[in-house]
C-alpha cells in the first residue's frame, strides 16, 4: 500500500528536522574553534553542512583540520595533517629519549675515566701510558 500524502509530508518533515539538528550541532562545534564562527558558509534550513563549501574557505578549512581533525574528517576535509603532526611529535620524543640515554652513557663513561685518572695520580702513574710518571 502506498503511503498517503500526509505520511510522506511527515516523513519529509522528520528528515528535514533530523538534518537541521545535525547541521546545528556541527555548526555549534565549529563555532567553538576561535575565529571560525564568522567564517561559516551560508546554509538554508534543512540542508546539511557542506564540506565542499567549507573547503572553499581555506582559513576555515585549516582551522578545522588543526583544531578538530575528527570533524574535518567527517566533513571530508582530512589531509592527514594531524597524523603527520603526531608522528613528528613521536619522532621528537624518541630522539629526545635516545639523546638522554646517550648523555647518561657518556656521563657514566666520564665518571669512570675520572676515577681511573684519580687512581693513576694516586699511584704516580701516567693515565695515558700506564707507566710511572717521572
Q: Decide if pLDDT at 134 tops 70.
A: no
Which domain covers residue 66, as residue numbers?
Answer: 5-79
85-102 average pLDDT score:
95
Domain count, the chain: 2
- pLDDT one-digit tens code per residue, 15-63: 999 999 999 999 999 999 998 888 888 888 888 888 888 888 888 898 8
Same domain, 70 and 96: no
A 10 A CB-CB count for 65 gives: 19
Same domain, 50 and 72: yes
Same domain, 98 and 73: no
- pLDDT one-digit tens code per residue, 106-129: 999 999 999 999 998 888 888 888
Which three three-digit cell numbers place residue 46? Answer: 534543512
pTM score of the predicted model: 0.58
Same domain, 67 and 33: yes
Same domain, 124 and 86: yes
Which three three-digit cell numbers place residue 115? Answer: 676515577
Same domain, 97 and 71: no
Amino acid at each position: 500500500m502506498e503511503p498517503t500524502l500526509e505520511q510522506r509530508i511527515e516523513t519529509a518533515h522528520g528528515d528535514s528536522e533530523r538534518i537541521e539538528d545535525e547541521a546545528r550541532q556541527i555548526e555549534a562545534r565549529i563555532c567553538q574553534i576561535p575565529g571560525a564562527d564568522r567564517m561559516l558558509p551560508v546554509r538554508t534550513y534543512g540542508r546539511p553542512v557542506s564540506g565542499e563549501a567549507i573547503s572553499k574557505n581555506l582559513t576555515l578549512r585549516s582551522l578545522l583540520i588543526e583544531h578538530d581533525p575528527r570533524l574535518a574528517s567527517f566533513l571530508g576535509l582530512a589531509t592527514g595533517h594531524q597524523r603527520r603532526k603526531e608522528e613528528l611529535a613521536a619522532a621528537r620524543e624518541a630522539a629526545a629519549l635516545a639523546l638522554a640515554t646517550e648523555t647518561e652513557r657518556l656521563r657514566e663513561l666520564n665518571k669512570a675515566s675520572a676515577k681511573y685518572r684519580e687512581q693513576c695520580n694516586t699511584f704516580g702513574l701516567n693515565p695515558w701510558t700506564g707507566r710511572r710518571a717521572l
